Amino acid sequence: DVKVTQSSRYLVKRTGEKVFLECVQDMDHENMFWYRQDPGLGLRLIYFSYDVKMKEKGDIPEGYSVSREKKERFSLILESASTNQTSMYLCASSPGTLGGTQYFGPGTRLLVL
Amino acid sequence: QKEVEQNSGPLSVPEGAIASLNCTYSDRGSQSFFWYRQYSGKSPELIMFIYSNGDKEDGRFTAQLNKASQYVSLLIRDSQPSDSATYLCAGKTGTASKLTFGTGTRLQVTL
C-alpha cells in the first residue's frame, strides 16, 4: 500500500512565524504535491515537484515555498504565517508514468492566530 | 476559470438507491479522470479512474466518460449510509501529473 505521511495533524501558529510542513512518501514516487483545501474552494495546488530539487508553482504559490532535497520528502514552508493561511494542507504523491493517480496524506489542519 | 465543474449538493438519496454524481470539464485535452471520496475531516481517497469512453465498473461503483460531451459521472449502486461523503472529480491533461479538481459534491444517503 502507498503510504503518505505528514508531520502534524494539527498545528497552531502565531502570525509572522515561519512554519514547516513535512510530507514523506514510501513508494519511490517521482511526483509530490502540496494543496490547501478550504470550504467552497476545493483543492488548490500550491506547489508540486517532479524530481529531487525540482519544483513548479501551482495555482496559489504566493506566501509559500517548498523544498525537495530527497525523493521521499517534500516540505512546504510558510515564510511568515498569516491568518489567511489558516487551512487544511494536503500532501500527495504520484508515480511518474502511470496514469497520474495521486495518493494523499492525512492532512495538516493549520490555525494561524 | 475552473476547468472541472461539479454541483456542490447536497445530493440526498435513500439507502439502497443509485446515486448519480456528475462532473463536466472544459479542457478537451483532458485524458483521464479520477473520482475520490472524502469523508469529513479526512483526506481524499481514490475510488477509481477512467480514461476511455464508456463505462468502467468496480464493485458498486461505475464511472462513465463521454468525451464528446465532456462529461464524467460516477454511479453508486445500492447506496449505503457509509457512502455519505464528498466526492471529488479530477481531470488530468497532458503528460504532466497535475490533476485539476472540482469542488466536490456532497452525498447524503438517508435511512
pLDDT one-digit tens code per residue, B1-17: 558 999 988 999 999 99
Mean pLDDT in residue range B36-48: 95
Question: Nearest-CA neighbor of B3 among A51, A43, A8?
Answer: A43
Q: Confidence band (pLDDT; 50, 70, 90) for B49?
A: very high
- Look at residue A99 in the predicted model and tell me its pLDDT: 60
- Between chains, do A50 and B45 touch, taking CB under 8 Å as contact? no
pLDDT tens for B50-102 read: 999 999 999 999 999 999 999 999 999 999 999 999 999 999 876 667 899 99
Question: Which of B58, B97, B103 to mutate to test binding with chain A, by most A CBs within 10 Å of its CB?
Answer: B97
Question: What whole-number distance in Å separates Cα of residue B102 and Cα of residue B90?
Answer: 6
Flag residues of chain A having pLDDT under 50.
none
pLDDT in tens, A89-110: 999 999 876 567 899 999 999 9
C-alpha cell at B45: 481517497
Write down the pLDDT at residue A82.
97
**Contact A39/B at CB under 8 A:** no
Contact A43 B97 (CB under 8 A): no
